[in-house]
Structure 1
Amino acid sequence: MRKARTGGADWYLLELAGVLDRLADRRYIEDPTARPDWWRPYPLPPALAEVDPPITSKFLVRGRLL
């Protein structure tokens, strides 16, 4: 591993479950009673916050959001 890192390859480790929980629109935004005390909306970086349609945990099915 060390040889790969010094040769230009590198790895990043991140905990993605927390980010996905904070993007959980259907579960927490649409039903405030389901929100745990720690939950806050995830502040997206400016470039992603400007995406249209907005990034959410909803998905498109034949032109409508579910």
Structure 2
Amino acid sequence: MPTVRIELDQDLLVAAGAIMGTATSKATIHEALRRIVVHERQLRHFERLAASALDRSPQPAAVDG
């Protein structure tokens, strides 16, 4: 995997590391990326479940007038 050099907000990196309990900058970045991927996969899964549930919900009966 290629090395990528980027400037990071050090205060934000330290805060994220403290929240996630990671010991190094590399571990913090990897854990943050992992969490984003997991979160987005879960969100898409829930969206599919919700759409599926809505598709199967009973439709209101038509009212004759």
Shorter-chain TM-score: what band? under 0.3
Q: TM-score, normalised by structure 1?
A: 0.25
**More helix per residue: 1 or 2?**
2
- Structure with bigger strand share is 1
- TM-score, with length taken from structure 2: 0.25
Which structure has more relative contact order (CA 8 Å, sep 6+)? It is 1
User: Who wins on radius of gyration, i.e. which is larger?
Assistant: 2
